[in-house]
Structure 1
Amino acid sequence: MENFQMEEAVVKEYDSKLMRRLLTFTKPYLSSFGLVIIIMFVLTIADLYIPKLVKDVIDNNINGYTRDYSILKSYSPESWKIGDLYIKEGNIKNAVKASIVYSDNAYYLVEGRVNHKEPYKFVGDKLLQGKNIFKSYKIKPSEIKEVRRSDAKGVLNKTMLMLFLSILVFLLGYIQVYLISKTGQKIIFDIRQKLFRHVEDLSLSFFDSNPVGRLVTRITNDVETLNEMYTSVLLNLIKDAFLIIFILVAMFLLNVKLALITLFVIPVITAAIIIFKRYDREAYRDVRVKLARINAFLSENISGMKIVQIFAKEEKKYKEFANINREYFDASYHQLQIIAIFRPFIDLVYSLALAALLWFGGIRVINNNLTFGILFAFVSYLQKFFQPINDISEKYDILQSSMASSERIFMLLDKDERIKNPDNPVSIETLKGEIEFKNVWFAYKENDWVLKDVSFKINPGEKVAFVGATGAGKTSIISLISRFYDIQKGEILIDGINIKNMNKEDLRKNVATVLQDVFLFTGDIKGNIRLNNDEISDETIISAARYVNADKFIEKLPDKYDSYVNERGTTFSQGERQLIAFARAIAFNPPILVLDEATANIDTETESLIQDALEKITENRTTIIVAHRLSTIKKADKIIVLHKGKIRETGTHEELLKREGLYYNLYQLQYKDLA
């Protein structure tokens, strides 16, 4: 449990090597990512162009009356009439210059060019501006529509363009999210497939030292964490970079002074992010450790719930869990406090920047040194500028979690504890079943020898039993025959061929093993006998079940061979599970059959059902038996007695009893009452 917690405690902000390895999974989907980046580029431009349109509507249309006009002597196309005068936009040659001003909720036509950025006042029908005196005409409400016709048209055109851009942003946004999500799921699918394939290829020695729960976490939780990075962080960082750069460019193009005011907040934000990263990383690490403790505690106690209830330790375990849960709560609360400070602080910086912008820009608008449209655009850009900054805490947590998850995933992928096939394997199909061990030395851990210089030979069709005390090496021998582990010294030959020169899959097709603890998969009985081998027909399955007398209980089930099997087959008795395992072995019809304590936990009635089946299925088939029951091993052609990893005696049941050696002692201790 402690190693698991230490593993969870590893939290990296960013690791370029890990990121490069993660990016290798994106290579098959570079075209999709390229398309997403192009869409992001277009989206960013379209999104930032909308405030520019609003600015143009305000300055060029809503306040469009400030443009230049001319008074014509007579009607002209695109001119309109105010009183007895004809007015047209622009400076017309040989025409009287004119302006339109808005004052006291009314529009006025002024003969002459008025500077709209300078103050003016009306005295009667005269407009005074500095030393200039202009004659003015009040425009009737009925004439306003003609005066502002082009502005109304401009508002309509720009509004339609804004509507089009908004729809475009929506559609492109949908396509972007769809592509990112789909591509992210494809990448996660590939990673999960690669992980599972890698785990399948690992030797059993790896599973001896690694908890199943941890491996499940790697393939599920850690891989899913990477999905968030691919979809929520990786491309969004590119989008945020586009957004910030384009906003700054747009600001400087609109007004340099206002843009510089906005830049003053960047050092403050940078300092806040650095401080936040430091404290959030420590808090995040603490949360992961506490969460790991909860997971470990739950896994252990739920698995051992039967023991907890037998000894009435529910209250004690509840208090232990309450303490661990409280620690996790405190750690999570501490991290939330850090996030709770960061987000409002960024909002405060935004408010201060907005206040500075409104103060500086507002005074300039009042003094007619800046248009209201530009100020509005800056307010919009400032809000968009802070959007990615506000999301940084969430993205930073995802990035930290992704780095930790990717490190654990690559640690698993880098495990090279595989039983490797030779480069040029010997071609084999059906073996005869001759097995020979030549001076075999084997250890699960370095120099802790389980088998020491073991040599024996089993002829095709022979029934050989291995007996000995616990830890003598019996189970190790049958594991080595199927090459679940590799030996350190010596040779293991089948039909005269070193098993290291065989394709391990071809080798294992020729060996069927029935274990003491039978594992049944979720599904039905047929699927558990067939094991997804479509070459095994239903008729073969039924024949195999009858052969081992499994049909006696299967035929009584409502759905017979289609009866549902839950995980590990817990609805069946131990004996029924063993009979299904025997049927499985017979259905595959291997030349070599291994029985590892296969009848150890079967009741006497069930054993009687399989004894005659054992007689039949071992005919013309090399059979290796590891068992304590005398009824299973006394008819063996040869019994090999192991003690502390060495072969001490070999012979038939009667021969070994006559020697009165180790086998005789085992017989006296274990089998005398059963004889």
Structure 2
Amino acid sequence: MSGGHIPFSHKGRSPINAAPSKGSIWIMLQQMFNRVPSKWKFSFLIISLMLLISLIEFSIPQLTQYTIDEVIPKKKYDSLIWIGAGILGAALLLALLNYLNSYVVSKVGQKAILDIRNSMYDHIQRLDMKFFDKNRTGDLMSRLTNDVNLLQQLISSSMLQVVTDTVTFLAVAVYMLFINWQLTAVLLVTFPFMFYITRVFGKRIRLSFRSVQSSAGDVSNQLQDSISGMRLIQSFTNEEFESARFAERNHENMVANIKSVRLRSMFSPIIDLMNNIGLVAVIVFGAWQVMEGKFTIGLIVAFLAYLRLLQSPVRNFSRVISIVQQSAAAFERITEILDTKPEIIDKAAATELPSIKEKIDFQLVDFAYDQGVPVLCNLNLTMKAGQVTALVGSSGAGKSTITSLLIRFYDPQQGRITMDGHDIRDVTLKSLRSQMGIVSQDIILFNGTIRENIVYGMLDAYDEKIIESAKAAHAHDFIRSLPDGYDSQIGERGVKLSGGQKQRIAIARALLKNPRIIILDEATAALDTESEHLIQEALSRLMINRTSIVIAHRLSTIQKADQIIVLEKGNVQEKGTHEQLLRSNGRYKQLHDLQFPQLKAKT
């Protein structure tokens, strides 16, 4: 660490951070439309509603023109009642149709959002561990929640407006050209400028929102890290340091938001200015034509009403575009996840893996998490079925990596791993992983009841099986002593339980699965001496006729293993039983003497 730098990166961004793609808005609308259930029936209904709405909106200026040019000059008093009733009826019908239009679009849109969120969550669960190694939890949560919510905002309030306004604009423009092309041509002079401004600002607004959402992901990352590590923060009295880190991320988000607000604040007034220029042109040119006797006053009034209908979509679009562009940026971040392809997948011709009966082989396996930094090098290793194989060695020697490769969280760059001669890349992931139960030092429990956490090992297990597994893990007695027994809430990550209790729940969960292969990664590290003794007894019985892989730093827990593999620098340095390795006076003997110096003194 160089002079005075804090030991964390303040500027790190998630690797998923691509530039917006051209035409993403239309791709977004198209893909969301494809997710709409019964989309063609829905389209027919919406188009019918929009046509009716447009027809009614067209009729009201016609009634206004008729009143001014016919009813008032000719004093048709009787017609006033019918015209008033017609305008009121049209307004009521228009309100009803707008309600139906908005409700139908919002309801169908919510179903599309439901499908997107479910698809995204399902896809994330199927991605490789490499993906989660490279992307931070907070950013992924931000994409799954905030970005999807932005799409929900688009559908709920803006998508209907964009579609309806586009149809209204085209219909009104065609009709205005039909009734008076000269006046319409004067008005439309400003529209090319508005379209150009919209295009320029739209691109900049989308880029600015992209920055906003990226910085929001950084804020989420900081929150996730801080809240999950609050015990560490407070124990080191680093509250001020963490507050400063959060304030910096929060400030970056504020700066990005201010830039976005500045662009939106500039855009709307420019569009309003263009609209007012068009209004001035219509009034001046129309008034001149009236004074020349070429237009009637009713035509000008009706034309101004049509002008409002024509300018309203443009004005609305200037307001909606920020939501649309924000949604486009969110959609790009979502599709980056959905377009990420998992590398660890079943082959087309993958077969079911039979229950292991003979052995597990690592044959000339090379693996590196990062290119150029090897973890395993030409590893040859055999584990016999039904036996206990212990993996020991220095930190970083590759012990946990071996189990991660075995369960296919990763695939080796070279070599192969077989079970009874079956390459594990040629069998289905489900048949491979269903044979394994894992209990690690990093205990993962879900916020819920003890029963829910144990039954996670076999979702359809009966109470008898759950209790049997808990007893085998020596967890039943302490569970029964709790006020709600197996229905006791354990809190987030089991915060209401002790370390030993959490570990025994995790062991019970793995035992309920009744796996053919048990992987214990420092499984007893969090237990006190008494609990460790009880668990060791239970595991000794349960390892019979199972293939067990034990990763341990505490050599006292593996002395009865059938085979101890000593790993150094990604390869096997020595192997044998506890007694054989002690007699060989190699690396295992060194590790043993470091942990048991009193025994070394006696020898």
Q: TM-score, normalised by structure 2?
A: 0.88
1:401 aligns with 2:410: no
Measured after TM superposition, the shift of residue 539 of structure 1 is 1.1
1:250-649 correspondence to structure 2 within 5 Å: 250-270=175-195, 272-273=197-198, 276-277=201-202, 280=205, 284=209, 287=212, 291=216, 294-315=219-240, 318=243, 322=247, 325-326=250-251, 328-362=253-287, 370-428=295-353, 430-432=355-357, 434-531=359-456, 533-649=458-574
Contact 1:9 1:288 in 2 (8 A): no
1:45 aligns with 2:58: no
Contact 1:13 1:403 in 2 (8 A): no
Measured after TM superposition, the shift of residue 379 of structure 1 is 2.1
Q: Once structures 1 and 2 are overlaid, which stretch shifts more, 157-166 or 594-603? A: 157-166
Q: Secondary structure at the match of 2:143?
A: helix
Cα distance in 1, alignment partners of residues 441 and 374 from structure 2? 24
Cα distance in 2, alignment partners of residues 385 and 546 from structure 1? 75
Aligned residue in 2 for 1:59: 69
Measured after TM superposition, the shift of residue 19 of structure 1 is 4.4
1:68-83 correspondence to structure 2 within 5 Å: none
Contact 1:433 1:459 in 2 (8 A): yes
Q: Secondary structure at the match of 1:426?
A: coil
Q: Once structures 1 and 2 are overlaid, which stretch shifts more, 31-40 or 550-559? A: 31-40
Contact 1:11 1:400 in 2 (8 A): no
Contact 2:472 2:538 in 1 (8 A): yes
Structure (1 or 2) with the greater strand fraction: 1
Cα distance in 2, alignment partners of residues 293 and 582 from structure 1? 35
Note the alpha carbon deviations across 1:197-222, whole angstroms, 9 max, x for none.
22222221221222112222222222
Over 3 Å counting, the alpha-carbon distance change for 1:596 and 1:17 in structure 2 is: farther
Measured after TM superposition, the shift of residue 414 of structure 1 is 2.7
Measured after TM superposition, the shift of residue 33 of structure 1 is 3.2
Note the alpha carbon deviations across 1:587-645, whole angstroms, 9 max, x for none.
11112111111011211122123122112211221111111223320111111111111
Cα distance in 2, alignment partners of residues 282 and 212 from structure 1? 23
Aligned residue in 1 for 2:121: 196
* Structure 1 residue corresponding to 2:143, chosen from 212, 218, 237: 218
Q: Secondary structure at the match of 1:423?
A: coil
Q: Secondary structure at the match of 2:378?
A: strand
| AA in 2 matched with 1:46 | I
| AA in 1 matched with 2:490 | V
The number of aligned residues is 590
Over 3 Å counting, the alpha-carbon distance change for 1:202 and 1:550 in structure 2 is: same
Note the alpha carbon deviations across 1:31-53, whole angstroms, 9 max, x for none.
12343233223222222222222
Q: Secondary structure at the match of 1:449?
A: coil
Aligned residue in 2 for 1:4: 13
Q: TM-score, normalised by structure 1?
A: 0.79
1:22 aligns with 2:31: yes
| AA in 2 matched with 1:251 | M
Aligned residue in 2 for 1:650: 575
Contact 1:22 1:406 in 2 (8 A): no
| AA in 1 matched with 2:99 | Y
Q: Secondary structure at the match of 1:453?
A: strand
Contact 2:353 2:422 in 1 (8 A): no
Measured after TM superposition, the shift of residue 166 of structure 1 is 2.7
Measured after TM superposition, the shift of residue 581 of structure 1 is 1.0
| AA in 1 matched with 2:327 | S
Cα distance in 2, alignment partners of residues 660 and 339 from structure 1? 74
Note the alpha carbon deviations across 1:297-320, whole angstroms, 9 max, x for none.
545545555555445454455456
Contact 2:25 2:328 in 1 (8 A): no
Q: Secondary structure at the match of 2:340?
A: coil
Over 3 Å counting, the alpha-carbon distance change for 1:577 and 1:331 in structure 2 is: closer
Note the alpha carbon deviations across 1:368-425, whole angstroms, 9 max, x for none.
6543332222222222222222233333323333333333333222322331212233
Note the alpha carbon deviations across 1:158-186, whole angstroms, 9 max, x for none.
43333343333223222222222222222
Over 3 Å counting, the alpha-carbon distance change for 1:25 and 1:523 in structure 2 is: farther
| AA in 2 matched with 1:36 | I
| AA in 2 matched with 1:156 | I
Q: RMSD over aligned Cα, in angstroms?
A: 3.1
Contact 1:18 1:406 in 2 (8 A): no
Structure (1 or 2) with the greater helix fraction: 2
Over 3 Å counting, the alpha-carbon distance change for 1:376 and 1:264 in structure 2 is: same
Cα distance in 2, alignment partners of residues 633 and 61 from structure 1? 103
Structure with greater Cα Rg: 1
Any unmatched runs of 5+ in structure 1?
66-147
Over 3 Å counting, the alpha-carbon distance change for 1:242 and 1:532 in structure 2 is: farther
Any unmatched runs of 5+ in structure 2?
1-9
Cα distance in 1, alignment partners of residues 245 and 518 from structure 2? 48
Contact 1:433 1:591 in 2 (8 A): no
Aligned residue in 2 for 1:670: 595
* Structure 1 residue corresponding to 2:45, chosen from 35, 51, 55: 35
Contact 2:20 2:332 in 1 (8 A): no
Cα distance in 1, alignment partners of residues 168 and 26 from structure 2? 27
Q: Secondary structure at the match of 2:365?
A: strand
Over 3 Å counting, the alpha-carbon distance change for 1:322 and 1:489 in structure 2 is: closer
Measured after TM superposition, the shift of residue 515 of structure 1 is 0.8
Cα distance in 1, alignment partners of residues 343 and 204 from structure 2? 41
Cα distance in 2, alignment partners of residues 249 and 290 from structure 1? 45
Aligned residue in 1 for 2:3: none
Q: Once structures 1 and 2 are overlaid, which stretch shifts more, 175-184 or 509-518? A: 175-184
Note the alpha carbon deviations across 1:91-124, whole angstroms, 9 max, x for none.
xxxxxxxxxxxxxxxxxxxxxxxxxxxxxxxxxx
Over 3 Å counting, the alpha-carbon distance change for 1:427 and 1:369 in structure 2 is: closer
Q: Once structures 1 and 2 are overlaid, which stretch shifts more, 230-239 or 421-430? A: 230-239
| AA in 1 matched with 2:190 | V
Over 3 Å counting, the alpha-carbon distance change for 1:394 and 1:300 in structure 2 is: farther
Over 3 Å counting, the alpha-carbon distance change for 1:561 and 1:405 in structure 2 is: same
Contact 1:6 1:289 in 2 (8 A): no
Cα distance in 1, alignment partners of residues 44 and 187 from structure 2? 32
Cα distance in 2, alignment partners of residues 585 and 220 from structure 1? 31
Cα distance in 2, alignment partners of residues 441 and 624 from structure 1? 20
Over 3 Å counting, the alpha-carbon distance change for 1:183 and 1:557 in structure 2 is: same
1:167 aligns with 2:92: yes
Q: Once structures 1 and 2 are overlaid, which stretch shifts more, 264-273 or 606-615? A: 264-273
Over 3 Å counting, the alpha-carbon distance change for 1:221 and 1:532 in structure 2 is: farther
